């Protein structure tokens, strides 16, 4: 089973930092040269993208021969992916460059035998560098650059380590590393649920995930604020693009905004997957059903909704991360059709007499509840028996670092068919009647 450790890398001296930056900058320059040659060969009817010059002589003194090889291999993999997507009609563009000048991305790839990581009270990373840099910065012939490691990775014990990705993150002003590792399926870190409960997830446009479990718990991850930040960055990108000169496709600021937008989204989604799976594991959940959005993504809704579903949610990536995280806890993720679950009334079963307005689902039979939570419960009932009463939903919002529970979670439910009961929702920690926010009343009793 393959997993990835992510951790911060800290140079111990100014000289170490300068050496590391020179190495990463040379790696970016090498990538750009290789990629330019391949793009040129691609445009040439008689060219061959796989036939490129030998770069070890020019870059080996700085990077080392093995690192030169890894960067060429990574570039080759990018082009193979491009051709595979092109055959499917899904290619969006040829592999790009790693910037230039002061805007160059500082990044490199190091062969699995050319680095070592030691975990402990003083964790450290040692990487191979070229002989020219060793002589310039006073490293011995067989000596490697030693860097401090900060963080507590999940996988300190593994059977095999993969190619290390080392890069500079300009947003956090940190050097960071991704270390792929292979662990055995019976690794002691892997857990097993203590029961055989189930859960169903509804992926929504306003709420990222609405979850119902057979234990009677419900979780709602609210996504409006997160999407608004994504949309604001998208609008800023569009404004800058409108000011580009003729023939200019992008700029340094636009590229930075694209990277920042993607990083923010992925960070929140990855944290959501971890938070949710840990909660479900504590509930004894063994199987998680996720609604298949294939048909939904092909439906022409409003421009705003399509922007959320197509650009922001990154459904396939999220489900993969969810499945990878669930595997650590012995939980299985299954993607199933969720047809009609968002329109079905849990009280009378009608799909024709219901109306959805933002977060609220109402029916002519008198039912009213939170649409996404109702959908997740209906979805779960298609696969499992739900006999236990629902507890007050646990509602969570993203604070740019963690998913935190909002006030009014875990309070007794109000009857959803009583027209005299007002809809109580939360705004800034106080009750409100604005159903734009997360509704916490009359959500699911059946």
* Section 289-299 average pLDDT: 66
Q: How many domains does the chain have?
A: 2
- For residue 443, is it within any domain? no
- What digits encode the pLDDT tens for the residues 219-271? 999 988 888 888 888 899 889 988 888 878 778 788 888 888 888 888 899 99
**Domain end position, chosen among 128, 158, 182:** 182
- What digits encode the pLDDT tens for the residues 105-121? 899 999 999 999 998 88
Q: Do 272 and 210 share a structural domain?
A: yes
Q: Do 355 and 298 share a structural domain?
A: yes
What residue has token string 């509602």?
395
Report how far Cα 49 is from the mean position of its chain's Cα atoms: 31
d(CA 336, CA 235): 34
Longest dimension (CA), the chain: 82
**Domain end position, chosen among 132, 149, 182:** 182
- For residue 258, is it within any domain? no
Q: Do 219 and 139 share a structural domain?
A: no
The string of DSSP letters for 363-404 reads ETTS-EEEHHHHHHHHHHHTTS---SPPPPPEEEEE-SS-EE
This prediction's pTM = 0.65
- Full domain range(s) for residue 308: 197-223+264-432
pLDDT for 187 beyond 80: no
Q: Do 208 and 177 share a structural domain?
A: no
Confidence of residue 191 (pLDDT cuts 50, 70, 90): low
pLDDT for 50 beyond 90: yes
d(CA 323, CA 325): 5
């Amino acid at each position: 089973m393959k997993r990835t450790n992510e951790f911060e890398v800290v140079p111990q001296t100014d000289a170490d930092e300068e050496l590391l930056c020179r190495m990463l900058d040379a790696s970016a320059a090498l990538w750009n040269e290789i990629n330019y040659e391949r793009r040129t060969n691609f445009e040439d009817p008689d060219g061959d993208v796989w036939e490129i010059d030998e770069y070890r002589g020019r870059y080996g003194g700085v990077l080392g021969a093995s690192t030169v090889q890894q960067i060429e291999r990574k570039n080759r993999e990018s082009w193979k992916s491009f051709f595979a997507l092109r055959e499917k009609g899904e290619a969006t563009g040829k592999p790009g460059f790693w910037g230039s000048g002061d805007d160059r991305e500082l990044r490199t790839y190091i062969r699995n035998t050319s680095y070592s990581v030691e975990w402990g009270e003083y964790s450290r990373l040692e990487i191979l560098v070229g002989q020219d840099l060793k002589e310039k910065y006073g490293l011995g012939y067989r000596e490697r650059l030693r860097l401090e490691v900060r963080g507590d990775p999940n996988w300190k014990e593994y059977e095999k380590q993969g190619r290390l990705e080392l890069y500079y993150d300009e947003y956090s002003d940190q050097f960071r590393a991704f270390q792929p590792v292979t662990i055995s399926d019976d690794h002691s870190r892997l857990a097993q649920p203590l029961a055989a409960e189930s859960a169903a997830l509804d992926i929504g446009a306003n709420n990222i995930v609405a979850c119902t479990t057979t234990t009677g718990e419900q979780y709602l991850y609210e996504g409006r604020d997160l999407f608004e930040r994504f949309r604001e960055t998208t609008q800023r990108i569009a404004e800058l693009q409108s000011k580009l000169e003729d023939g200019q496709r992008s700029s340094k600021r636009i590229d930075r905004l694209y990277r920042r937008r993607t990083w923010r989204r992925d960070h929140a989604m990855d944290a959501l997957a971890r938070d949710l799976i840990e909660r479900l594991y504590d509930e004894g959940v063994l199987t998680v059903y996720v609604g298949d959005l294939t048909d939904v993504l092909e439906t022409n809704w409003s421009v705003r909704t399509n922007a959320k579903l197509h650009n922001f949610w990154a459904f396939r990536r999220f489900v993969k991360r969810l499945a990878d995280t669930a595997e650590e806890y012995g939980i299985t993720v299954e993607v199933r059709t969720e047809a009609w679950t968002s329109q079905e009334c849990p009280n009378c079963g009608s799909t024709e007499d219901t109306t959805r307005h933002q977060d609220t689902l109402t029916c002519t039979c008198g039912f009213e509840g939170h649409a996404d939570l109702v959908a997740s419960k209906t979805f779960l009932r298609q696969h499992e028996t739900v006999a236990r009463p629902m507890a007050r939903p646990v509602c969570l919002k993203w604070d740019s670092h963690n998913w935190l529970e909002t006030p009014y979670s875990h309070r007794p439910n109000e009857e959803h068919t009583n027209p005299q009961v007002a809809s109580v929702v939360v705004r800034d920690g106080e009750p409100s009647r604005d159903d734009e926010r997360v509704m916490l009343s009359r959500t699911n009793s059946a």
